[in-house]
């Protein structure tokens, strides 16, 4: 397909904890279908440690931590890659009028590059490409809870209150309005597509996150698209997260090699959810939640009015009711011990299966050795000897 005189780049920038991984997995799975409709989700070939390869826009903001003496050289290489990537986008527009790129780190990390939005918009314009930015917003209290669960799942053992008081919380860019206005100043409000990460606000066929994302592109989700059944970024909560948090006090449980604890806890959690209806788990109390959201109320209302044309100023529509939440209370020793016992049972079962596989492989090797010891016919032995020693 030949591009129009003005191609378009749709840049999806998160925010984090808004289903970005699901979107990034969906797009390459449907690359051919998207290309038939004039949309390309390219793989530029850039790879970064700890970064999903499908985050194809990461090169725009990547900044490697380096020694001061190598700073200039490293930054020069990153800048060269930045413009090299934009040139690759330009080449793609000879065949596709629409390019899609995604990386949630752009929301928090664009300030790593000076005047990022001005530079990007100008560089794209020089290459005949319009910029459209897609950003999903999730209610701030839910973002913090989700981040906390993820951090505990990996390694921290802080209580939720300690986490709220930590410097780690400063990483979040939760003042959405200020952030959006900064982007608007550089690229224009008309080039920012704001969506809300709430099930009841998704648009498109099926009212899912994927249908909503396709809707931002002017596409409709239908049976031609394929999706994965794999659940990404599984979340521990309640007593299961509490067990992981306590275990994180032991060094070995904070390493990725020993993340089998999170795996088994998730299995047990899922089994319990099948047997009984469970409420959402929260870490804010009701009063804390209301006070926390009050800090962002004015900005959220401004976003609703200015970016979504909602006169009522309501950005997030999901209500907050005390009875909707199971608070993160302390759990009985019996509950915690029982879950740990189930974890050990799963771990032992895995070890038995691995041992059985190893024994099977060992038996196979033994049979091969026994076979090799059998007397070979003289003719075959002579041929092997000649082959090995090139004896004629």
| Residues 340, 214 share a domain | no
| Residues 368, 224 share a domain | no
| Residues 204, 77 share a domain | yes
Number of domains the chain contains? 2
Is residue 16 one of the residues assigned to a domain?
yes
Q: What does the block give as tokens for 285?
A: 């109390």
| Residues 202, 64 share a domain | yes
Is residue 223 one of the residues assigned to a domain?
yes
Q: What does the block give as tokens for 208?
A: 């899912």
Domain's final residue, options 180, 213, 228: 228
For residue 212, the enclosing domain spans 1-137+198-228
CA 67 → CA 64, 75, 197, distances in Å? 10, 11, 39
Q: What is the pLDDT along the chain (392 residues), one digit of tens a residue?
A: 444 468 999 999 999 999 999 999 999 999 999 999 999 999 999 999 989 999 999 999 998 888 888 889 999 999 999 999 999 999 999 999 999 999 999 999 998 899 999 999 999 999 999 999 999 999 999 999 999 988 898 888 999 999 998 887 777 899 999 999 999 999 999 999 999 999 999 999 999 999 999 999 999 999 999 986 555 556 788 888 888 888 888 877 776 655 678 888 888 888 887 766 555 678 898 899 999 999 999 999 999 999 999 999 999 999 887 766 665 566 788 888 888 888 888 888 888 888 888 888 888 887 777 766 665 455 555 665 566 555 54
Q: What does the angle CA 249 – CA 161 – CA 157 come to, to the nearest 5 degrees?
A: 10
| Residues 207, 88 share a domain | yes
| Cα(182)–Cα(186) distance, integer angstroms | 7
Q: What does the block give as tokens for 87?
A: 């040139």
| Cα(280)–Cα(289) distance, integer angstroms | 14
What is the CATH classification number for the domain harbouring 45?
Answer: 3.40.50
Domain's final residue, options 181, 211, 228: 228
Is residue 203 one of the residues assigned to a domain?
yes
With beta carbons less than 8 A apart as the criterion, state whether 283 and 145 touch.
yes
Is residue 284 one of the residues assigned to a domain?
no
Is residue 7 one of the residues assigned to a domain?
yes
| Residues 6, 132 share a domain | yes
| Residues 222, 337 share a domain | no
| Cα(148)–Cα(17) distance, integer angstroms | 11
Is residue 308 one of the residues assigned to a domain?
no
| Residues 362, 220 share a domain | no
CA 163 to chain CA mean position, Å: 21
Is residue 316 one of the residues assigned to a domain?
no
Is residue 321 one of the residues assigned to a domain?
no
| Cα(180)–Cα(41) distance, integer angstroms | 25
Domain's final residue, options 210, 228, 246: 228
Element of type H or E holding 300 = helix 297-308
| Cα(238)–Cα(224) distance, integer angstroms | 38
Strand partners, 327: 282
| Residues 74, 222 share a domain | yes
């Amino acid at each position: 397909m030949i591009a129009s005189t003005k191609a378009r780049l749709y840049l999806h920038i998160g925010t984090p904890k808004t289903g970005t991984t699901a979107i990034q997995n969906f797009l390459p799975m449907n690359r051919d279908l998207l290309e038939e409709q004039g949309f390309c989700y390219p793989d530029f070939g850039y790879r970064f440690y700890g970064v999903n390869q499908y985050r194809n826009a990461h090169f725009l903001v990547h900044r490697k931590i380096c020694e001061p003496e190598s700073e200039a050289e490293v930054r020069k290489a990153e800048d060269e890659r930045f413009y090299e990537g934009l040139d690759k986008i330009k080449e793609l527009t000879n065949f596709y009028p629409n390019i899609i790129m995604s990386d949630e780190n752009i929301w928090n990390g664009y300030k790593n590059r000076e005047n990022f939005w001005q530079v990007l918009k100008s560089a794209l314009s020089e290459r005949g490409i319009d910029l459209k930015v897609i950003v999903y917003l999730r209610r701030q209290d839910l973002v913090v809870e989700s981040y906390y669960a993820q951090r505990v799942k990996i390694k921290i053992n802080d209580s939720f209150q300690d986490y709220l008081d930590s410097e780690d919380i400063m990483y979040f860019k939760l003042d959405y309005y200020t952030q959006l206005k900064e982007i608007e100043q550089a690229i224009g409000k008309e080039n920012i597509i704001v969506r809300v990460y709430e099930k009841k606000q998704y648009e498109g066929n099926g009212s899912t996150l994927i249908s909503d994302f396709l809707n931002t592109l002017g596409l409709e989700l239908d049976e031609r698209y394929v999706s994965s059944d794999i659940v990404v970024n599984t979340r521990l909560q309640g007593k299961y997260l509490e067990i992981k948090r306590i275990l994180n006090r032991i060094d070995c449980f904070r390493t990725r090699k020993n993340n089998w604890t999170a795996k088994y806890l998730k299995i047990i959690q899922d089994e319990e959810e099948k047997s009984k209806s469970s409420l959402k788990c929260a870490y804010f109390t009701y009063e804390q939640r209301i006070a926390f959201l009050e800090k962002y109320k004015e900005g959220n209302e401004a976003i609703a009015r200015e970016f979504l044309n909602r006169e009522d100023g309501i950005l997030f529509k999901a209500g907050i009711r005390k009875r909707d939440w199971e608070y993160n209370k302390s759990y009985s020793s019996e509950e915690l011990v029982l879950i740990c016992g189930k974890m050990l049972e799963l771990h032992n079962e895995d070890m038995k299966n691995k041992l059985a596989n190893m024994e099977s492989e060992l038996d196979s090797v033994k049979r091969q050795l026994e076979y090799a010891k059998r007397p070979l016919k003289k003719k075959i032995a002579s041929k092997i000897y000649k082959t090995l020693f090139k004896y004629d």
